[in-house]
Each structure stands twice: as C-alpha cells, then as structure tokens.
Amino acid sequence: MKKTIFDLPEFRNQTGVFRDRASAGKVLAEMLGAYRNSHATVLAIPAGGVAVAAVIARVLNLSLDLAVVSKITPSWNSEVGYGAVAFDGTVMLNEDLVSRLHLSRQEIQEGIRRTEEKVARRVTLLRGNRHLPDLQNPVLLVDDGLASGFTIRVAVKALRGAGSRQIILAVPTAHEASVRKTSEEIEAVYCPNIRSGPSFAVADAYEYWRDVDEAEMMDILAPFFKSPQG
C-alpha cells in the first residue's frame, strides 16, 4: 500500500517537541519540501492554524489562503466541540457526543446559529470578497493540531464540495487514531508528532501555547493579502 501518513519517528509519542507554532511550521515545511515553488496552495484553518501555515507558505514560496471552519461548542464549555460549521455552510454534528452531552434540540440549533455567525464574520473579516483559490491544484490544509479530527473532516467535506481533488493535511501534532481515520478521506497526512494513548491535548506538543486572536491573524495574513478586500 502506498504510504499516506508521514511522521518523524524521533518525535513519536513525545511532548514539548515544538517551541511554538512558528517552529512547528518550520518542521512541517521541511517535511513538505517537495511542494516548494509548486502550484499548491496552503489553506490555514483559523485560528491556530494560521500561525503554522504562514511559515509553511513563506518557506516553500506558496500562496496562502484560509479554510474558515469553526467547531460548535456548548455555551458552558468553549473547548468541547460537538460539531463544526465550514465556510460554505456545511454543518456536521458529532451525534455520539451530542448524545453524551444531553443537549436539547434548541441548544443544538442555538449552537449552530452562533457558529454560523462566527464563521461568516471571520470570512468577511479575514478574506473579504476574495475568490477561493484554484482547488484543482494540490491543497495543503494546515491546523495547529488534530485531536478528534472532526473539524478537519468538516473542512475536507467543504473543500471536496468546492472541487478540491488533492488534499494534503499538514498538522504538527495529532492523536494516532484520528490521523488514521482522517487519512482515509484525503490523499496524505504530514504530522511530525503522532501520539497514542487514552488522553491527548494539542497544547502538550508545544513549550509555549496561547490562543491566537483575530487581530493577530490579520497581522500574520497581511504580507500575503494586499488587503482583506483585495
């Protein structure tokens, strides 16, 4: 079978392997060297993925754009995602988690509405009226980590619907089970730090970890976008 998951054995099951998202981007850029100066497009998933993707795009001399996707969370916990909404309006729910959270239909619909508004606002703020890049060329889909993988799978579904034929996922760190499941839906996964075990936190791969806000994302994107409306 053709290998579709690429990692770094020396990073396997290790924590604290990256100083920050930028250093993780440098490691991924080295792994993705075959795409240097190609027609591939780097697509970042906000928010944390933007800091990783910008380094990859700069090092490999590739264009950078966004695949705006956001997880749907209950009002009492912004870390638990029971679904996700993508830039094209795609909505998917993790039915197993919905059941375990005992969410009412009204709570679910309210969560979807809030997330749709968030995604629409971010699309306008960060991308303006820019057209999607040519998705006939390879897409390097980048986030800062892969836990359950649900948000990534929603992004993949939206990109396939928009015509993407070759999606390569590039994430610094991921849980092994999620990598294997996600790899079934795309062409390849590049992930230097794959970890197994009963518990997994993306932040554990980094020495320095903090949230990335929208102002910081705009600063990172500014050298790649002439203007949000450009």
- Domain range list for the chain: 5-69+133-221
- Give me the pLDDT at residue 230, please: 40
In CATH, the number for domain 5-69+133-221 is 3.40.50.2020
Q: Residue 193's closest CA among 3, 7, 4?
A: 7
- Characterize 100-127 residue by residue with b for buried, 16 or more Cβ atoms within 10 angstroms of its Cβ, and e for exposed: eeebeeeebeebbeebbebbeebbeebb
Could you report the per-residue pLDDT of 164-189, keeping only the tens digit for each?
A: 999 999 999 999 999 999 999 999 99
pTM, to two decimals: 0.92
| pLDDT surpasses 90 at 2 | no
